[in-house]
Structure 1
Amino acid sequence: MVGIVMIESARILSGAQKMKQLSSEAKSLPQDVVRAAQRAETANRGFMCADGAKEFADDFKEDMQELHEHLSDTHSVLTKVARSWDKADEDGAADFKPFESDLSGFQVPTINGGPSVRA
């Protein structure tokens, strides 16, 4: 037996919007780390800690760029999915419109002398 599939596209779009916000945050997050690493490198030139701070900042910036791209891609996919489901629902509803029109004047037949039936 096939289960019921119910999609709430508004919730998917809301999640997609959150992904977009997180994507922007991930992209801007390394700025403070990079500035701090540059200050550490200037203040501690020649020491291993300066090189380590710069390497950490570079790695962090690269990681956040990858996260930004992933979240941005996820936002795009979720948005497309929600819109596709909405379109499918609209198309499915349109398929039933002719039946709705045909049945709008339908009255339940009654048998004389029998109990009345209400539609």
Structure 2
Amino acid sequence: MDPQFFKDWGGIIATFISIGSVIYAWLTAGSRANTEALGKLTGRIDEMEAGLLEMKAEIKHLPDEKALTQLKLELAEMRGVFGRMEENISSMSRTVHRVEEYLLKKGTN
């Protein structure tokens, strides 16, 4: 074989390899950007999943509808008890004032 033949074909093959490399780099440049964007998105999704897991754990500790209804009933009962106590204290206060006035008037006579 003639060395000139290899020299001619070597140049043609090198040119095709160069063109192929440029085309490959151009085609894969977009995929690198997409890979980076997907990496960032995956990180945000992981953060959101961690937040959701934390929220689920906290929600488990909250009372259910039955417990809230029971709590409302107990609060209403406590309001009634405090209302009666307020009435008793008010009547005791009036009595104390009357006794005080009586003693003050009796002490001045």
TM-score, with length taken from structure 2: 0.41
Higher relative contact order (CA 8 A, sep 6+): 1
- Larger radius of gyration, structure 1 or 2? 2
**Bigger helix fraction:** 2
